[in-house]
Amino acid sequence: MTQLKTTFAGLSLNNPIIISSSSLTSSAEKNKKLELAGAGAIVLKSVFEEQIIMEAHYMATYGSPEGDDYLSTYVRSHALSEYIALIEQTKKLCTIPVIASINCFSSSEWTDFARTVEEAGADALEINILSLQTEKEYAHGDFERRHIDIMSNIKKQISIPVIIKLGSNLTNPIALINQLYANGANAVVLFNRFYQPDINIDTLTYTAGDVYSAPADLANGLRWTAIASAQVPQTDYAISGGVHDGKAIVKAILAGASAVELCSAVYQKGNPIIAEMTDEVAQWMDRKGYKSISEFKGSMNALSTGNSNPFERTQFMKYFSSKE
């Protein structure tokens, strides 16, 4: 009997599909429907530090430090109390792992909240540290150091697993992953998706680019998961971005991932795509004679490639060297 069970960040999942943080997971009722559709776990819609700060700044109209500080504290408290309610309500309805999510860029605000998340019943906490480094006087390594500081500060406060979801704008993800593991990270997700800006040349306005990922986006996650799972095998990995069918899940596991995070495919095709994907994985496993995920996980990561590592190749030598 084919088994799709997997373990990610110490959590037991019925299958490798995790619904990633988005409006898909913004209510307990939606989350229950995702569970019934076959999701292995869910990541709740994120609390955004940037949004809380912007709302507090927008409301700060008293003109005095005391009044502005009161409003800032109120906005933050209100946002976080709503989030705690989401965790508690989802845990009442769902039996699959429920992962809380914080999207932040500073370490000072989140240690107390992390404890509250754990007390509310979250099974794990995913931290998203997503920002662009554009300062002209930027000191190399500061951004990576911020990841480690935030993660280690939070890890000291809670006992539930801590998952780091990385952006793709890193010089050396492997070195950072190794340091995150050394400081207590239980798993890493590769990669977070940036907001895609665009310009409307008719109206001369800024607009949003393509919101959804495309199947081609999978390649970057495969590359770094295959390398990272070979060099830092002690931690768990999930791929996010470009997972649009069961074949992509198989590829992710072959590269060394324990799970995938799914979002765009569900938005585009609805909850039934979850069962379609798991069926496709099970059928592939049957054809190959695999009975469990662990039998083929990581079997095609960077350790399997020998001296000619396709994951570290940067040029299209094989394909374009003869073109004129």
Asked if 38 contacts 274 with a C-beta cutoff of 8 angstroms, the reply is yes
Q: What is the chain's mean pLDDT, rounded?
A: 87
d(C-alpha 32, C-alpha 25), whole Å: 9
Mean pLDDT confidence for 25-32: 98
Q: Highest-confidence range of 73-77, 141-145, 149-153, 212-216, by mean pLDDT?
A: 212-216
Check pLDDT > 80 for residue 107.
no
β-strand 6-8 against 162-166: which pairing, if any?
A: unpaired
* Torsion angle defined by CA atoms of residues 158, 159, 160 and 162, in that order, rounded to the nearest 10 degrees: 60
Asked if 227 contacts 260 with a C-beta cutoff of 8 angstroms, the reply is no
263 DSSP β-pair partners:
none
* Per-residue pLDDT reduced to its tens digit, 118-146: 999 999 999 988 666 767 777 778 889 88
312 Cβ contact list (under 8 Å, min separation 6): 227, 302
Where exactly are the structural domains of the chain? 6-320
What's the pLDDT at 300? 95
Asked if 8 contacts 238 with a C-beta cutoff of 8 angstroms, the reply is yes
128 DSSP β-pair partners:
103, 165
Residue whose C-alpha is closest to residue 80's, from 42, 109, 41, 43:
109
d(C-alpha 100, C-alpha 31), whole Å: 13
Check pLDDT > 80 for residue 233.
yes
What is the pTM for the complete model shown? Answer: 0.88
My answer on whether omega of the bond before 194 falls inside 30° of 0, hence cis, is no
DSSP 76: H
Write the CA distances from 12 to 97, 99, 264, 305, integer angstroms: 8, 12, 24, 30
What's the pLDDT at 76? 57
Mean pLDDT confidence for 20-31: 97
Residue whose C-alpha is closest to residue 163's, from 6, 316, 10, 300:
10
- The three-state secondary structure class of 197 is strand
d(C-alpha 274, C-alpha 70), whole Å: 45
* Per-residue pLDDT reduced to its tens digit, 262-281: 999 999 999 999 999 999 99
- The three-state secondary structure class of 2 is coil
Please give the CATH topology (third level) of the domain spanning 6-320: TIM Barrel (3.20.20)
**H-state helical runs in 256-311:** 264-269, 272-288
Give the length of the chain.
324
Mean pLDDT confidence for 29-51: 90
Give strand ranges (E) for 20-104: 41-43, 47-48, 98-103
What's the pLDDT at 65? 44
What's the pLDDT at 55? 47
d(C-alpha 16, C-alpha 85), whole Å: 27
What's the pLDDT at 202? 96
* Per-residue pLDDT reduced to its tens digit, 41-67: 999 998 866 555 544 444 444 444 444
Asked if 86 contacts 45 with a C-beta cutoff of 8 angstroms, the reply is yes
Write the CA distances from 200 to 137, 207, 209, integer angstroms: 32, 7, 10
* Per-residue pLDDT reduced to its tens digit, 290-322: 999 999 999 999 998 776 577 776 566 555 555
Asked if 238 contacts 260 with a C-beta cutoff of 8 angstroms, the reply is yes
* Per-residue pLDDT reduced to its tens digit, 167-226: 988 889 999 999 999 999 999 999 988 778 899 999 999 998 888 999 999 999 999 999
